[in-house]
């Protein structure tokens, strides 16, 4: 009998709490797809690379985020189980009145939840395979096919997901059963009517709380911006003040709305205001703490999504600054790269390649112009760093390139040829140097090289492997006629190639292992000394080695890729968890108000007007919840995203910092609104279907 009762209840719960069931499926799918990334080849390669570099901070961060994802899903399941226990308390009390022992009721409750969880887990793992395939397609298109996770079923990922779910459900059920065991019959009968506290009736106190909402919101933004403590406590304090701000808004806002309905009778009795707003205030006042908690969860999720989007834009821009797919560097002399080129052509599809040299006169005339412009930028950002501290010793002199090499490289990149006469020279630099260099060069008499004077012919600012040195100079390159480099020293030789196919970290490591003289340039390695007068910083451990770098090497070594996925996953999990709790609570309240909607039908309101009233009630609940956290989270997102972008690049790489920040805001708000709107539409159609059944 107990088995049949458990099965019947499980079916009824799955039908009644369809949002909860769907969310469990989504949560399981997200857990599985995240685990599939952990067991993917990409993650293994990044782990190997990090272990070789003795850097495991990002791996610890990924583990931390995976634990957080499990914790959030656990919180969602636990909260919903308690909510369902509250809604079914009278049913369990009825069982007790019929003579069923509490121990048997706990068994029924346990069995039906395990059944629902098991079914949702199966569907979640199947959906996770689809999510993994979509993620593989997305990251492959965004990062040029270098990102790979499992689209097919991963046994290890499925096993880990099952383990997570088993732990989550065991702990959640243990807590719910413990609460059920301790409840007496009278407690079960009135548990559904239990209201959350605190709530306030005084409008003056409510207005004071709304003022507190504004002040704590501004305070959280200031903490995120100035970071007074200088450590992770700033983040915790900022999030804490955001949460307090959300609670203050809902607890105080409910009192103000209640006062408006009591005082402004004329407004209250217009149209169907009384029905809609009375129901809303009645529901919201007893659920103010839940509303505040959900808004705080949304705000934190928004910050996490925006942080992941910020790192994504930063990594993407950093990769784009490397114009060529692969480059090989040989220091201080002209070099024969034929062995490297032959291996590359035999093992990968090479669309175009070229070998050339960069030259120097051991002078610093143009580098000094660069330092002056960069110094002004550092002052504007209030950075305690000098331009010489961000100038690698190999790039401390003016860097020159032959015009014929320059034309060939522009052709490889699909750029229009730079026009230059016989006695002229060009400058290719990063965009932030265009204006200060143009002003300075127009006041000079020309560039004196090899007994001739070259006239300034113009500046080009396309992406040309200038950022962070060891490509075509560091932010600044001088292009001169071929014959003018005859008396110059070779700064370093370069082999560059653009490929017709994607290569991953495994291929790059195999390339370097093939030659004893070749190793990948470590993007995280910097060594050297800085004094008051000079800086001798380098990213090259030894000049006896050749160094492989370029777009694919840069992306393969960017450890932030793991953080991007972790942050986005956790943010989406928070969005889904908060939205499902809000939606299920709202749907449950609407079910309790069925008799009022039925009464509207008896009084003569037609079905179309009743549906319109229902739509207004649902919109009011969903929109009101946005008022508290959306402006607050947008402000914090702006601050955190601008900080990440500015700290990621020591020199300005964007024409305007507002463009990437606007993109980050759009992505963060768009992801949330998409999830929020989908659940809102689902709640409306479920409620509409049920209400129309009871209307005469």
Q: Which pLDDT belongs to residue 139?
A: 58
At 85, give phi and psi (nearest 5°): -65, -40
**Does residue 676 have a cis peptide bond before it, meaning omega lies within 30 degrees of 0?**
no
CA dist 109 → 76, 100, 170, 175 (Å): 18, 13, 13, 12
Q: Does residue 286 surpass a pLDDT of 60?
A: yes
**How far is CA 600 from each of CA 595, 605, 609, rounded to the nearest angstrom?**
9, 6, 10
Least confident range from 47-51, 300-304, 483-487: namely 47-51
Q: Which residue has the higher pLDDT, 294 or 268?
A: 294
What distance in Å separates the CA atoms of residue 445 and residue 146, rounded to the nearest whole number?
Answer: 49
CA-CA distance, 158 to 7, in Å (whole number)?
26
Q: Specify the length of the chain in residues.
A: 696
Eight-class DSSP state of 471: B
> pLDDT-based confidence at 179, cuts 50/70/90?
confident
pLDDT digits (tens, 9 = 90+) for 310-350: 888 888 888 888 889 999 999 999 999 999 999 999 999 99
Using CB atoms within 10 Å of the CB of residue 112, give its burial: 0 to 12 exposed, 13 to 18 middle, 19+ buried.
buried
What is the predicted pLDDT for the residue at 426? 93
Chain position carrying tokens 């003040």: 241
With 80 as the cut, is the pLDDT of residue 291 above it?
no
Q: How many other CB atoms are found less than 10 A from the CB of residue 355?
A: 20
In contact, 193 and 238? CB cutoff 8 Å = no
Q: Are the CB atoms for 43 and 562 separated by under 8 Å? A: yes
Nearest to 628 by CA among 229, 116, 244, 113: 244
- Cα–Cα distance between 425 and 458 in angstroms, integer? 8
The mean per-residue pLDDT over the stretch 654-660 comes to: 84
Angle 549-555-559 (CA atoms, 0-180°, nearest 5)?
115
Whether the pLDDT of residue 8 is over 70: the answer is no
Query: Residue 159 above 60 pLDDT?
Result: yes
Please answer whether residues 155 and 32 qualify as being in contact, where contact means their C-beta atoms are separated by less than 8 angstroms.
no
Q: How far apart are CA 216 and CA 221, in angstroms?
A: 9
Q: What is each CA distance from 425 to 369, 439, 471, 478, 578, in whole angstroms? A: 17, 16, 20, 7, 61
pLDDT at 413 over 90: yes
| Whole-number pLDDT of residue 385 | 79
pLDDT at 492: 93
Which range scores top for mean pLDDT: 172-176, 208-212, 242-246, 273-277? 208-212
Tens digit of each residue's pLDDT (9 = 90 or more) over 497-508? 999 888 877 888
Cα–Cα distance for residue pair 554/322, rounded to 1 Å: 8
Percentage above 90 pLDDT, the chain: 17
Cα 1 to the center of its chain, rounded Å? 50
Contact 276, 284 (CB under 8 A): no
Q: Which two tokens stand for residue 363?
A: 């002078």
Q: Does the pLDDT value for residue 197 go beyond 50?
A: no
Quick one: which of 447, 397, 399, 443 has its CA closest to 420?
447
Given a cut of 90, whether residue 405 has pLDDT beyond it is: yes
The predicted-structure confidence for 128-137, as pLDDT tens digits, reads as follows 888 777 766 6
Which is more confident, 632 or 41?
632
List the one residue out of 401, 393, 453 whose CA is nearest residue 427: 401
- Distance between CA atoms of residues 560 and 555, nearest Å: 9
**Residue 329 pLDDT:** 95
Residue reference for tokens 């959640």:
172
Q: How far apart are CA 517 and CA 538, in angstroms?
A: 19
Instruction: Dihedral sign for Cα 507, 510, 516, 522, please.
Output: positive
Residue 482: strand, helix, or coil: helix
Greater model confidence, 305 or 52:
305
Q: How far apart are CA 35 and CA 165, in angstroms?
A: 13
Are 640 and 633 in contact by the 8 Å Cβ rule? The answer is no
What is the reported pLDDT for 55?
A: 45
Does the pTM surpass 0.85? The reply is no
3-state SS, residue 518: strand
Which runs of E-coded beta strand occur in 274-410?
Answer: 326-331, 350-360, 400-402
- Bigger pLDDT: 590 or 289? 590
> Do residues 91 and 42 make contact, with C-beta atoms less than 8 angstroms apart?
no
For residues 242 and 559, the model is more confident at 242
Is the pLDDT score of 555 beyond 80? no
pLDDT greater at residue 332 or residue 183: 332
- pLDDT over threshold 90, residue 535: no
pLDDT at 314: 86
657-to-319, 467, 567, 638, 645 alpha-carbon distances in Å: 18, 17, 22, 11, 8
Q: Which of 421, 417, 422 is nearest to 405 (CA)?
A: 417
Q: Which DSSP state fits 532?
A: S
Contact 366, 398 (CB under 8 A): yes
Angle, alpha carbons 210-214-218 (nearest 5°): 165
Q: What is the mean pLDDT of the chain?
A: 79
Distance CA 678, CA 80 (A): 19
In the prediction, which pLDDT does 351 show? 93
Instruction: Output 654 or 563, whichever has higher pLDDT.
Output: 654
- Lowest-pLDDT range, 135-149, 183-197, 457-471, 643-657? 135-149
H/E stretch holding 573: helix 560-592
pLDDT, tens digit (0-9, with 9 covering 90-100), for 67-109 = 766 777 777 777 777 777 777 777 777 777 777 777 777 777 7
Residue 48: CB partners within 8 Å, gap ≥ 6?
none
Eight-class DSSP state of 432: G
Dihedral, 615, 618, 622, 623 alpha carbons, nearest 10: 50
CA atoms within 13 A on the CB side of 600: 21
Of the pLDDT bands very low, low, confident and very high (cuts 50, 70, 90), residue 400 is very high
Q: What are phi and psi of 430, to 5 degrees?
A: -75, 150
Could you give the CA distance from residue 62 to residue 405 in angstroms, rounded to a whole number? 44
More confident residue, 484 or 525: 484
DSSP code per residue over 195-247? PPS-----HHHHHHHHHHHHHHHHHHHHHHHH-TT-SHHHHHHHHHHHHHHHH
pLDDT tier, 54 (very low <50, low <70, confident <90, very high otherwise): very low
Pick from 301, 327, 377: which is nearest to 571 by CA?
301
- The whole-number pLDDT of residue 248 equals 81
611-634: pLDDT as tens digits = 888 888 888 888 877 876 777 778
Q: 535-538 and 527-530 as β-strands: parallel, antiparallel, unpaired?
A: antiparallel
Ramachandran assignment for 402, one of left (phi > 0), alpha (psi -120 to 50 degrees), beta (any other): beta
Q: What pLDDT is attached to residue 262?
A: 62
First to last CA, the chain: 37
Does the pLDDT value for residue 639 go beyond 50? Answer: yes
Beta partners for residue 548, in sequence order: 328, 520
């Amino acid at each position: 009998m107990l088995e049949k009762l458990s099965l019947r209840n499980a079916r009824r719960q799955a039908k009644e709490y369809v949002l909860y069931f769907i969310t469990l499926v989504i949560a399981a799918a997200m857990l599985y797809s995240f685990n599939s990334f952990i067991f993917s080849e990409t993650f293994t390669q990044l782990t190997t690379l990090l272990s070789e570099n003795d850097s495991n901070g990002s791996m610890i961060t990924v583990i931390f985020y995976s634990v957080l994802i499990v914790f959030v899903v656990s919180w969602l399941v636990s909260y919903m189980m308690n909510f369902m226990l509250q809604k079914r308390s009278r049913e369990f009390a009825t069982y007790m009145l019929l003579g069923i022992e509490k121990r048997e009721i706990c068994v029924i409750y346990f069995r039906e939840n395990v059944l629902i969880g098991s079914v949702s887990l199966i569907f979640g793992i199947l959906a996770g395979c689809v999510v993994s395939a979509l993620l593989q397609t997305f990251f492959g298109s965004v990062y040029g096919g270098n990102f790979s996770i499992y689209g097919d079923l991963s046994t290890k990922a499925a096993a880990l997901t099952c383990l997570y779910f088993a732990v989550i459900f065991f702990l959640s059920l243990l807590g719910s059963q413990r609460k059920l065991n301790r409840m007496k019959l009278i407690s079960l009968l009135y548990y559904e009517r239990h209201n959350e506290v605190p709530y306030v009736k005084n409008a003056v106190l409510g207005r004071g709380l709304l003022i507190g909402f504004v002040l704590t919101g501004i305070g959280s933004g200031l903490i995120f911006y100035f970071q007074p403590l200088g450590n992770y406590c700033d983040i915790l304090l900022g999030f804490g003040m955001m949460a307090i701000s959300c609670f203050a808004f809902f607890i105080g806002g409910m009192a103000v709305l209640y006062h408006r309905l009591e005082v402004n009778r004329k407004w209250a009795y217009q149209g169907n205001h009384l029905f809609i707003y009375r129901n809303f205030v009645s529901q919201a006042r007893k659920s103010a703490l839940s509303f505040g908690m959900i808004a705080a969860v949304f705000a934190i999720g928004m910050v996490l999504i925006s942080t992941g989007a910020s790192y994504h834009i930063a990594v993407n821009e950093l990769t784009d600054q490397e114009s060529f797919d692969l480059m090989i560097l040989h220091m201080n002399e002209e070099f024969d790269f034929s062995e490297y080129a032959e291996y590359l052509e035999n093992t990968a599809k090479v669309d175009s390649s070229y070998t050339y040299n960069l030259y120097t006169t051991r002078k610093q005339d143009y580098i000094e112009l660069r330092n002056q412009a960069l110094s002004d930028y550092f002052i504007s950002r209030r950075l305690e760093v000098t331009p010489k501290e961000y100038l690698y010793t190999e790039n401390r002199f003016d860097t020159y390139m032959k015009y014929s090499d320059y034309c060939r490289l522009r052709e490889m990149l699909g750029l229009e040829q730079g026009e230059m006469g016989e006695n002229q020279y060009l400058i290719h630099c990063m965009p932030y140097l265009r204006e200060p260099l143009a002003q300075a060069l127009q006041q000079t008499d020309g560039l004196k090289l090899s007994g001739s004077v070259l006239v300034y012919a113009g500046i080009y600012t396309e992406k040309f492997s200038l950022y962070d040195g060891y490509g075509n100079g560091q932010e600044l390159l001088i292009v001169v006629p071929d014959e003018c480099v005859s008396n110059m020293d070779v700064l370093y030789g370069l082999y560059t190639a653009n490929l017709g196919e994607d290569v991953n970290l495994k291929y790059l490591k195999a390339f370097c292992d093939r030659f004893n003289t070749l190793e990948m340039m470590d993007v995280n390695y910097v060594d050297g000394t800085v004094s008051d007068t000079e800086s001798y910083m380098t990213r090259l451990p030894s000049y006896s080695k050749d160094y492989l770098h370029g777009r694919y090497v840069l992306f393969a070594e960017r450890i932030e890729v793991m953080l991007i996925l972790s942050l986005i996953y956790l943010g989406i999990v928070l969005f889904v968890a908060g939205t499902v709790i809000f939606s299920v609570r709202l749907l449950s309240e609407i079910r309790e108000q069925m008799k009022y909607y039925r009464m509207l039908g008896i009084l003569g309101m037609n079905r179309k007007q009743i549906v319109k009233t229902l739509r207004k009630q649902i919109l009011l609940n969903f929109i009101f919840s946005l008022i508290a956290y959306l402006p607050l989270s947008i402000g914090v997102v702006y601050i955190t995203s601008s900080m990440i972008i500015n700290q990621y690049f020591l020199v300005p790489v964007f024409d305007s910092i507002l463009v990437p920040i606007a993109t980050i805001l759009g992505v963060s708000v768009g992801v949330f609104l998409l999830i929020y709107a989908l659940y809102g539409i689902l709640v409306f159609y479920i409620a509409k279907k049920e209400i129309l059944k009871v209307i005469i």
